[in-house]
Structure 1
């Protein structure tokens, strides 16, 4: 099995998260990354264990997936789970499928 988190895969995931889901990233960081006062979150890395964000232009915060991912295709579902859990913790209504 090839590594699902090749540099190209990580770059594509980061680009998608930062271009299309920046608000979702901030919700995840506030609720699950322990940074409730964060004002910005940029996806800075992804691996089998976690997604990493650069928060407010400096600090890096890792949010674990909750399970080890073995395929790139699992990232979407894992991000959706984190987003929904974060919305639940913050008392927000989660949008439909991403």
Structure 2
């Protein structure tokens, strides 16, 4: 696998934004797409061109969860689109209505 196309600064900015502003989204994503339906909390721990890494709390223990993107990514703007897609897919799988007018920042 080639090295990640994203700098450490981009990874830090994205993970900080997800953890500060979208922790509930990360939880839904880990529950539905990460195969951790019993997770009670989640945080993004990293990402690369092939997927996102999370730490999910299951039965009081933090476990690693890796969720691949739908395709390899190389541009920062693609990360946002993929996370939004993952959130929307997770909502659909779990029967949770997505936030209305979600412009996602």
TM-score above 0.5: yes
CA RMSD after TM alignment: 1.1
Structure 2 equivalent of residue 77 of structure 1: 81
How far off its partner does 1:97 sit?
2.4
Structure 2 equivalent of residue 97 of structure 1: 103
* Structure 2 unmatched ranges of 5 or more: none
In the alignment, structure 1 residue 23 sits paired with structure 2 residue 41 = no
Aligned residues: 96
How far off its partner does 1:58 sit?
2.2
1:66-94 alpha-carbon deviations (Å, 9 max, x no partner): 10001011111100000000000000111
* Structure 1 unmatched ranges of 5 or more: none
Structure 1 equivalent of residue 65 of structure 2: 61
Bigger strand fraction? 2
